[in-house]
């Protein structure tokens, strides 16, 4: 298995979360559990090597819809764009799958979960994560774009690509300003220009760098 085998399960059904966790631990994975956005963020901030999240889409406060689950997924990806998120849902299979993938999910599984399918998806997610990381170290970045082309579509696509690339490299460099600028081939002052352009708070970047270094100690 890869250098990190950490998986986060975000699921408010305690019995299902425990069942999945037991299976994964038996396969050698290190498993963490969360029931909402706050607890998921705590795990993510304290485990910088985390690669994969298995997440229900039907979460409180609206467990009968995918609204809360999609919001949590987006916020986790905003914190760590390289995460591979496998979403689980028992609702509106086709619509939920399309929307989850549009917003950045790696894979989609319908409840009740077939455990062999979950394990196959998880193995692909880890392989994909590691391959992407190796390629990024060679200067080749994979960035997912979901833009509806209209009058300003090309500009919006360019801006979205720039933003996602910036967030990805920040995450890979543990939010270290100088190394991020070096990876992107820009001067430090130009990096701050990009922060302003994309509404990224430099103080948030410094805090993330502090938190990542603290978690790594």
DSSP 54-93: EEESS-TT-TTSSHHHHHHHHHHHHH-TT-EEEEEESS-H
Instruction: Say if residue 197 is in the same domain as residue 126.
Output: no
Q: Rounded to an integer, what distance in angstroms lies between the CA atom of residue 183 and that of residue 180?
A: 5
> Based on the structure, what is the number of domains in the chain?
2
Instruction: Say if residue 105 is in the same domain as residue 167.
Output: no
145 occurs within a structural domain = no
User: pLDDT, tens digit, for every residue of 8-65?
Assistant: 999 999 999 999 999 999 999 999 999 999 999 999 989 988 999 999 988 888 777 7
Instruction: Say if residue 115 is in the same domain as residue 159.
Output: no
Q: What is the pLDDT of residue 161?
A: 81
Instruction: Say if residue 66 is in the same domain as residue 102.
Output: yes
End-of-domain residue from the set 92, 108, 137: 137
List the domain range (segments joined by +) for residue 39: 6-137
196 occurs within a structural domain = yes
Instruction: Say if residue 204 is in the same domain as residue 122.
Output: no
Instruction: Say if residue 129 is in the same domain as residue 188.
Output: no
User: pLDDT, tens digit, for every residue of 103-133?
Assistant: 889 999 988 889 999 999 999 999 989 988 8
Q: Mean pLDDT, the chain, as a whole number?
A: 86
Q: Rounded to an integer, what distance in angstroms lies between the CA atom of residue 134 and that of residue 128?
A: 10
End-of-domain residue from the set 105, 137, 169: 137
User: pLDDT, tens digit, for every residue of 137-193?
Assistant: 777 666 665 555 555 556 677 787 888 888 888 988 889 999 999 888 889 999 999
Instruction: Say if residue 109 is in the same domain as residue 74.
Output: yes
CATH number at residue 14: 3.40.50.2300
């Amino acid at each position: 298995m890869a250098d990190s085998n950490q998986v986060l399960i975000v699921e408010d059904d305690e019995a299902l979360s425990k069942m999945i966790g037991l299976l994964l631990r038996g396969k050698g994975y290190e498993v963490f559990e969360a029931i909402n956005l706050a607890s998921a963020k705590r795990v993510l901030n304290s485990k910088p090597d985390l690669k994969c999240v298995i997440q229900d889409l039907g979460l409180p406060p609206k467990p009968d819809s995918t609204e809360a689950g999609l919001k949590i997924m987006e916020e986790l990806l905003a914190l760590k764009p390289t995460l591979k998120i496998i979403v689980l849902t028992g609702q509106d299979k086709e619509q939920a799958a399309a929307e989850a993938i549009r917003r950045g999910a790696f894979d989609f599984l319908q409840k009740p979960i077939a455990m062999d399918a979950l394990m196959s998806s998880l193995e692909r997610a880890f392989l994909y994560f590691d391959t992407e990381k190796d390629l990024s170290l060679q200067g080749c970045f994979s960035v997912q774009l979901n833009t509806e082309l209209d009058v300003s579509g090309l500009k919006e696509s360019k801006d979205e690509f720039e933003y996602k690339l910036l967030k990805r490299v920040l995450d890979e460099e543990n939010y270290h300003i100088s190394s991020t600028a070096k990876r992107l081939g820009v001067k430090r002052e130009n990096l701050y220009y990009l922060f302003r352009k994309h509404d990224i708070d430099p103080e948030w970047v410094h805090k993330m760098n502090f938190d990542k270094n603290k978690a790594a100690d």
